Amino acid sequence: MVGGGVAGLAAAHRAVELAREGGRALDLRLLEARPRLGGTIRTERVDGFLVEAGPDSFLSEKPWALALCRRLGVEDRLVRTDDRYRRTFVWHAGRLHPLPDGFQLLAPTALLPFVTSPLFSWPGKLRMALDLVLPRGHADDESLGAFVRRRLGREALERVAQPLVAGIYSADPDDLSLAATMPRFLEVERRQRSLILGLRQALRGAAQPGTSGARWSLFVTFAGGMGELVDLLAARLPAGAARPGHRVTELARAGAAWRLRTAEGPVLEADHVILATEAHAAARLVRHLDPSLAALLGEIVYASAATVSLGFRRADVSHPLDGFGFVVPRTEGKALLAATFSSVKYPGRAPGDHVLLRGFLGGMLGRRLLDEEDDRLVGRVRDELHEALGIRGEPVLARLSRAPVSMPQYHVGHLARVEAIERAVAGLPGLGLAGSAYRGVGIADCVRSGEAAAERAFAR
Ligand SMILES: Cc1cc2nc3c(=O)[nH]c(=O)nc-3n(C[C@H](O)[C@H](O)[C@H](O)COP(=O)(O)OP(=O)(O)OC[C@H]3O[C@@H](n4cnc5c(N)ncnc54)[C@H](O)[C@@H]3O)c2cc1C
């Protein structure tokens, strides 16, 4: 395996499981360039705060991460969100407005909360209501921005869809492929024409929250933070298999096997290689083997991001913090893309009488901002949190974490590109790809991607 993020770790762990199930020997190496495993996942404990540098949770709706936790026997380590506070605010015109109840990511499904919400103007609301009568679109792969503008209008895009997708995909909605990221909405339009009516119907068909008996909330994490997943997976690998601090610089055929050269010196031979790196890193490794595959991989654009976690005394924050956080439309001209009320969302994130807040910066629409010095970025987040939440005192904790070129962008045409990549890889026996670059950016998708690559390589 090359790449020790969650996809590489899940691939390595699945390979171990398959070898054990098949009673076969496995000589496994997981080579990771950085001095630690986990890739974008990193949890730190500082002064009684639990700080997540990257992801703070995973989606339980997508079953693969939860299923892995069950197989690892660690379900009791998982914690759910406090769903009394399951709402998101939107920072608009100097105030935090709750996203109206029933808003399904892109469109409203409940009439009263939507009609009475001050987040939208009357012309904006009427334009959204036009979705009820507008005909279907015909594009095969359309940007999310174009789709929302066409069905619900500019205000719905600017005040809700754009900031929400910036928070999830760090993306510019006018480049983001709807088919590759949120195919559910395309499907609803295809079947029911109106997004509002289709989503309402789907909601009526689904079990009501709280009555389904589902044990897990939508977002789930570990009591000790997402770093627990990394440690748990690493602990299941054979002793000495994981090699942090080993950057693979060259991949070449060696007869029927593969030869991997590392910057640190060791050269390894392997029957199977799974590249679970970012697509740009995989592109460099295959550039001599298959230049056209390298070109396709190189076409997947990456965004950079940064998170700033700030701890405050609870008494210094006048906002009730009765939600999971807020998103910031680009039109507001702020540095923040979004902020999470981390210690409200999950227990054990801040010591008593304190709160932990986390700001998210960068993405495709905030690229230039990340050129600024650390202190300046921390200062910007502190000032904007002060303004949004009525904070008086200085933070008692400040942690900045940068994730350069770490977030793949699923631009229009992404699915066709991934299919071409998969065809090209199928022509290189013994080689596989995994990770967030291809068919889903979330932790659960990365687990599925890694496990599927291991199954293709090792299942018999
Ligand atoms: C700030 C942030 C917040 C996020 N929040 C969430 C969230 O809350 N929930 C969620 O589900 N997802 C979230 N994500 C997305 C999710 O974290 C990532 O998509 C996922 O962790 C990617 O895993 P990966 O293994 O594919 O890649 P990575 O974690 O990027 O790992 C790839 C690894 O490959 C290594 N590598 C590269 N080149 C080489 C080489 N030549 N040799 C050896 N090693 C190499 C890299 O050093 C890296 O460690 C977030 C992402 C970021 C950046």
What is the per-residue pLDDT across 140-158, written as a single tens digit (0 to 9) for each? Answer: 899 999 999 999 999 999 9
Answer whether 445 contacts ligand 1 (Cβ < 6 A).
no
For 361-392, the pLDDT digits (tens) are 999 988 899 999 999 999 999 999 999 999 99
Write down the pLDDT at residue 460: 64
Q: Is residue 329 within 8 Å of 92, Cβ to Cβ? A: yes
- Residues 113-130, buried b or exposed e (16+ Cβ, 10 A)? ebeebebbeeebbebbbe
Write down the pLDDT at residue 202: 87
For 76-129, the pLDDT digits (tens) are 999 999 888 989 999 999 999 999 988 888 888 888 989 999 999 999 999 999
In the chain, the percentage of residues whose pLDDT exceeds 90 is 87
Residue 304 CB neighbours (<10 A): 20
- Dist. CA 139–CA 15, nearest whole Å: 40
Closest CA to 177 of 416, 362, 338: 416
pLDDT of residue 211 exceeding 80, the answer is no
pLDDT of residue 213 exceeding 60, the answer is no
Answer whether 305 contacts ligand 1 (Cβ < 6 A).
yes
Mean pLDDT value of segment 345-350: 95
- Dist. CA 413–CA 411, nearest whole Å: 6
Looking only at Cα atoms, what is the longest distance across the chain? 69
- Dist. CA 131–CA 259, nearest whole Å: 56
For 298-322, the pLDDT digits (tens) are 999 999 999 999 999 999 999 999 9
Block residue for tokens 């990257």: 54
Task: Read off the pLDDT band of 214 (50, 70, 90).
Answer: low
pLDDT of residue 209 exceeding 60, the answer is no
Output the average pLDDT for the chain: 94
For 253-297, the pLDDT digits (tens) are 999 999 999 999 889 999 999 999 999 999 999 999 999 999 999
Mean pLDDT value of segment 328-354: 96
Identify each DSSP E strand in 257-301 by its residue range: 257-262, 267-270, 273-275
**Cα 239 versus chain centre, distance:** 30
**Cα 228 versus chain centre, distance:** 17
Q: Which atom of ligand 1 is least distant from the CA of 7?
A: 25
Answer whether 36 contacts ligand 1 (Cβ < 6 A).
no
Instruction: Quote the ligand 1 centre to 120 CA distance (angstroms).
Output: 36
Answer whether 52 contacts ligand 1 (Cβ < 6 A).
no
Cα–Cα distances (Å) from 185 to 195, 197, 202, in that order, read 7, 12, 11
- Dist. CA 16–CA 359, nearest whole Å: 38
Mean pLDDT value of segment 19-48: 97
Instruction: Quote the ligand 1 centre to 227 CA distance (angstroms).
Output: 12
Instruction: Quote the ligand 1 centre to 379 CA distance (angstroms).
Output: 26
Instruction: Quote the ligand 1 centre to 112 CA distance (angstroms).
Output: 40
Write down the pLDDT at residue 229: 98
Sequence-distant (≥ 6) Cβ neighbours of residue 308 within 8 angstroms:
358, 359, 361, 377, 378, 381, 382, 398, 399, 400, 401
Give the three-state DSSP class for 30: strand
Residue nearest to ligand 1 atom 4, measured at CA? 55
Residue nearest to ligand 1 atom 19, measured at CA? 441
Residue of 277, 337, 346, 418 to test ligand 1 pocket, by largest number of atoms within 8 Å of CB: 277
Instruction: Quote the ligand 1 centre to 229 CA distance (angstroms).
Output: 13
Closest CA to 326 of 345, 313, 352, 312: 345
The whole model's pTM is what? 0.95
Answer whether 362 contacts ligand 1 (Cβ < 6 A).
no
pLDDT of residue 217 exceeding 80, the answer is no
Task: Read off the pLDDT band of 207 (50, 70, 90).
Answer: low
Mean pLDDT value of segment 224-232: 98
Answer whether 34 contacts ligand 1 (Cβ < 6 A).
yes
Answer whether 278 contacts ligand 1 (Cβ < 6 A).
yes
Instruction: Quote the ligand 1 centre to 60 CA distance (angstroms).
Output: 19
Instruction: Quote the ligand 1 centre to 301 CA distance (angstroms).
Output: 15
In order of their start, the domains of the chain are 6-41+64-74+227-300+410-458 (3.50.50.60), 100-205 (1.10.3110.10), 302-408 (3.90.660.20)
Mean pLDDT value of segment 349-360: 97
Write down the pLDDT at residue 210: 41
Write down the pLDDT at residue 203: 83
Task: Read off the pLDDT band of 353 (50, 70, 90).
Answer: very high
For 385-439, the pLDDT digits (tens) are 999 999 999 999 999 999 999 999 999 999 999 999 999 999 999 999 999 999 9
